[in-house]
Structure 1
Amino acid sequence: MPSKMIFINLPVADLDRSKRFYESIGWKVNPDFTDGNAACIVVDDNICVMLLTHEFFTTFGRRPLGDTRGTIGSVYALALGSNHEVDALLEAAIAEGAVEEVNSDRRAQEAEVGMYSRTFLDPDGHQWEPFYMAYPV
């Protein structure tokens, strides 16, 4: 097991739909940590996304669950190996119902520093930002 891993916990309205969405963009479901309340989506060896039904998600805290479709609460940025990988992930996401968000001002700023990114909202409104940067941060 790697020394550090990240697990992103996301509330989802329809667990089966969300599993299909993430599988369709090339990520895998780990059946050992998947049941009727949650699904473990493996992005790579160190990153997993835990999809949690709304009911199960609310057991992790006392605050009420917000509506992620109407607000921005988090942005999940994912470094990839090339502009092509960024485009391929975004195209796969859109093919499965994601919505691309475009911010022209930000794209121009990124181009100045050698960064390329695109943004999509998954079916539950969670904002993903695959990006490529030609040099390490």
Structure 2
Amino acid sequence: MNQMIFINLPVSDVQASTDFYKALGATKNEQFSNEASSSMVISDTITVMLLSHESWREFTPKQIPDARESAQVLLCLSMESPEACDAAVATATLAGGKPDPTPKQDHGFMYGRSYEDPDGHIWEVMWMDVAALQESMAAQN
């Protein structure tokens, strides 16, 4: 079995966040969702749990930071091409996200962009040409 990741995010409006992630192509797993949380499936191995602040507090007493003011994590998804990165940012922007809160990256063998969800959580999208990277590293040795 492939290892899976479940990303838990505190959100101020579960329905608005659910709609945002649906617009990005995630599907809602109704079995693990209710009015206080949405289980959003990004791929066979990646699920994002959108939790109301009340639900979040059931898991930890730690303060919920405002992701628009501070960053604790940068989440990153791989894409098939630089164009797919651009398309993901465009889709997120149309769905109400903020484009490019972090600098764009273009290193030839790697390309990356980013967007913020409605609560300010930063998602990076990146493409990497592994063969070109390996060639570059081999040439340096």
The 5-angstrom pairing of residues 120-131 of structure 1 reads: 120-131=115-126
- Percent identity between matched residues is 33
Per-residue deviation at 1:63?
Answer: 1.2
Matching residue of 1:41: 40
Per-residue deviation at 1:101?
Answer: 2.3
The root-mean-square deviation of aligned C-alpha atoms, in Å, is 1.7
1:111 aligns with 2:107: yes
1:24 aligns with 2:19: no
Deviations 1:38-85 (A, max 9, x none): 111111000000000011111111211111111111100111111121
Number of residue equivalences: 132
**SS of the residue 2:75 aligns to:** strand
**SS of the residue 1:65 aligns to:** coil
**SS of the residue 2:55 aligns to:** helix
Unmatched runs of 5 consecutive residues or more in structure 2: 134-141
1:101 aligns with 2:100: yes
> Distance between the aligned counterparts of 2:16 and 2:128, measured in 1?
31
Per-residue deviation at 1:19?
Answer: 0.4
Q: 1:38 to 1:84 in 2, by over 3 A?
A: same
> Distance between the aligned counterparts of 2:67 and 2:95, measured in 1?
19
TM-score normalized with structure 2 length: 0.87
The 5-angstrom pairing of residues 61-80 of structure 1 reads: 61-80=60-79
Q: 1:10 to 1:102 in 2, by over 3 A?
A: closer
> Distance between the aligned counterparts of 1:29 and 1:86, measured in 2?
23
**SS of the residue 1:90 aligns to:** helix
Moved more, 41-50 or 64-73: 64-73
* Deviation beyond 2 Å, 4+ runs, structure 1: 101-104
Unmatched runs of 5 consecutive residues or more in structure 1: none
Deviations 1:70-120 (A, max 9, x none): 11111001111111211111110000111112555x62xx415x1101011
**SS of the residue 2:107 aligns to:** helix
Matching residue of 2:55: 56
